Structure 1
């Protein structure tokens, strides 16, 4: 029976996941019922605004023309990035003297090729990029080198490092430390036996932080794994990127950009096993044995795990991708698709689920990219490993923004969600009371 927990990394359940405990299934059914009721009862009338009825402000794509995140990601909303006692937060990453990838990519707003039509509407991602996986051309972008948090999309970098280092057929034993990690877990248990291939499946398909921990342990532990990840990013000229954790949980100094995430994903896609795993919809995952120290404890049987990337199931030609979410990063996403022999990648950073879910935003941007001529080009991704000595020549850092200066506070969508939840809750209570009254008065 499954014990995968959906938390800060993946707020929406993946399709075709394994069977969950009865309490979780009950909660899921209730949630589904509430969702269906809300949609039917509060759907906008024809011609009405698609915004929630409590909102009077229409959606607008976040404006980045003034480069608010040129040096550092937006201020955190929680304490996840507070340094450990005795440690200090790392300094902001240096800004290269010339934009990596070309002059046009130094812009912070929309960067579109000459003659291109308007960018798609409904994109809540603060930064995004569409690029060609094969040629390395950047087709279009928004705030390409703006710095944001990657959340679980950084697992792409961990996978690229580990797949080149670890034997996929080696069997490792799960530990209690694996099982205790924070965030989304696929269900590794102490004493369970897993091939590295199965750990990679859990990492890439189901975003398991426990799998990230088990993989990092084989690279020398979390700190050593992070050092290897950052070294690889630098080799690829992904100079906006600094991993702080192997899994993507927020930590001091965590950073990436839409450009860098495109670079990291393209590098990972050059590994056949990575490309295979992100395109896999469902696999069986092993269970683990009972704990002999716990009286009456029973063996946990294996179960299927599903890919949590909804684009894979809903977009023709989808090759796969990686999702991510934390409170500080918000929604992040990277994916690729193929059409008429052309393979494009899309990255999203600091997105929300309204007005479209991240995979739907990615689909719109992919459609936009495929509609552009093959000659469209606003920049380039590095070709393989690059000498970074020239990139190490950096301009003086701008003064970091004051803490809280760019903190948007609670989003309008969050407030609307709370109000809608209260309304639905009240309606459900009335229905329960009516049902109880009917039961008391019906003939026996």
Structure 2
């Protein structure tokens, strides 16, 4: 196999490379290096002039840049800088380190800043938990909270579950989405993983499987809640893929648009009930808001996922590594949504891939005739010299047992002659 991959690389300018397991992209994925990855210098993203916060923790070292993963959805997305359609107005200045605006329905990416750059997620990772298990749990089921469910970082967000308390699954989802309850995240993950001591670990593994299935190859979960964990990363592009799955679910849409909810009393434990509010202020202050999720840890800083609808058009915004001044995360999201809605509907710099785009290529099942098999064995040292780049990439990906990312397909979708880098 190594000889075949090496021959393919030499014949079609395909280079094999390997990325760390935490990056979630299958190792040794041969593909043509995207032209946009090195053709232009990165264009700086608009930033407000604000002083960095004091005593900000040093961010974790991310996996190395991956030329193939950085071009998922289109070559123009392979940048650490700004990518917007040519000739459009400049996007607003935000403190977010990376961001992306896309159409929830068509999947067209309207613009972004370092869309595939690795970042730590904080509580927006709860959207991946929802995308993975919201269909697996009966919202009417009543469950009992265990002591292990409350094993969360001291001082981190909790909705106020109590050991021995009995709650419906729908109440847990509301506590997760409105109040960013890490206790609710642990409980939901345990239940979705079978309810045992290994339930949370099983659900985290399922979250990583979901990320791969939908094409979020730069996402690697370590905790179900988004509390920091070693090797835990995501990207603005991946969050948009995850959000697209979430907003396709009616229960999720209902939860994230709920303004307040009631935590039921636990009379057997002599605990009273109380009301809790939605922390995502977008739904209170933005015309057409569909909801979303906030996030913050000292390490990740502020993260945000939000969506809105205007004139029959639904957009999603994702941002990571932001500061709360001069604008809070949801306000930065709102300003980027305003910018996205101001663009013509046909503007695009890339595409949100679908699970079908990244599905593994099935292995051939039929046996070739004896003569053809002998010929194949004779030619095993390399493909015919006339093999196209696209065909060679496809063959190499099949040999490696990895998903075909359809980078060339994304290039063909782009309208000819339209620049996609810069302002």
Q: TM-score, normalised by structure 2?
A: 0.69
Cα displacement (A) at 1:303 = 1.1
May I ask how many residue pairs the two structures share in their alignment? 309
- Structure 1 stretches (4+) deviating beyond 4 angstroms? 89-95, 390-394
Which residue number in structure 2 is paired with residue 114 of structure 1? Answer: 86
Q: State the shift of 1:175 in Å.
A: 1.7
Aligned to 2:164: 191
Contact 1:111-1:140 within 8 A present in 2 as well: yes
Matched-pair contact (CA < 8 Å) for 2:70–2:77: no
Match of 1:278 in 2: 256
Deviations 1:327-357 (A, max 9, x none): 1100000000111111111011000011211
Between the aligned partners of 2:102 and 2:69, the Cα distance in structure 1 is 23
Matching residue of 2:346: 375
Q: Aligned equivalents of 1:195 and 1:385: distance in 2? A: 34
| 1:72 aligned residue | none
* 1:328-367 correspondence to structure 2 within 5 Å: 328-367=299-338
Query: Residues 92-114 of structure 1: CA distance to partner in whole angstroms, max 9, x if unpaired?
Result: 69653661100111122100012
| Structure 1 pair 278–238 and aligned structure 2 pair: CA distance change class (3 A) | same
Shift of 1:178: 2.1
Shift of 1:219: 2.4
2:283 to 291, 309, 312: 312
Contact 1:97/1:393 (8 A) holds in 2:
no
- Of residues 191, 202, 227, the one that matches 1:224 is 202
SS of the equivalent of 2:276 reads strand
Aligned counterpart for 1:205 among listed residues 154, 178, 181: 178
173 and 105 in structure 1: CA distance in 2 versus 1, 3 angstrom threshold:
same
**Is residue 222–residue 230 contact of structure 2 (8 Å, CA) maintained in 1?**
yes
CA distance in 2, matches of 1:301, 1:92: 50
2:68 corresponds to which residue? 96
Counterparts of 1:335 and 1:228, CA distance in 2: 24
Asked whether the 8 Å contact 1:324–1:331 carries over to 2, the reply is yes
2:71 match: secondary structure: coil
**CA distances 1:76-98 after superposition (whole Å, capped 9, x unpaired):** 638xx8xxxxxxx9976965366
**How many Å apart are 1:392 and its aligned residue?**
5.1
Question: Does the 8 A contact of 1:188 with 1:288 survive in 2?
Answer: no
TM-superposed deviation, 1:384: 4.1
Give distance in 2, aligned partners of 1:360 and 1:185: 23
1:126-160 superposed Cα distances (whole Å, 9 cap, x missing partner)? 10011001110000100000000110001001011
Whether the 8 Å contact between 2:63 and 2:118 is mirrored in structure 1 is no
- Structure-2 separation of matches of 1:251 and 1:277: 27
Q: Check the 8 A contact 1:333/1:349 in 2, yes or no.
A: yes
User: What residue is the counterpart of 1:59 in the other structure?
Assistant: 49
User: What's the CA shift for 1:232?
Assistant: 0.2
Question: Which residue does 2:3 correspond to in 1?
Answer: none
Q: 1:58 to 1:226 in 2, by over 3 A?
A: closer
| Structure 2 alignment gaps of length 5 or more | 1-46, 194-198, 361-396, 406-423
Distance 1:110 1:393, change over 3 A: same
Corresponding residue of 1:20: none
Give the conservation status (yes or no) of the 8 Å contact 1:93–1:240: no
Identify which of 120, 131, 149 aligns with 2:102: 131
Per-residue CA distance 1:15-39 (angstroms, 9 max, x = gap): xxxxxxxxxxxxxxxxxxxxxxxxx
Asked if 1 retains the 8 angstrom alpha-carbon contact of 2:256 and 2:290, the reply is yes
Confirm whether residue 267 of structure 1 aligns to residue 248 of structure 2.
no
Worse-superposed segment, 98-107 or 268-277? 98-107
Give the direction of change, closer, same or farther, for the CA distance of 1:91–1:369 in structure 2 (3 Å limit): closer
Q: From the superposition, tell whether residues 283 and 385 of structure 1 become closer, same or farther in structure 2 (CA, over 3 Å).
A: farther
Unaligned runs of at least 5 residues, structure 1: 1-56, 63-74, 82-88, 292-298, 395-444
Shift of 1:387: 3.2
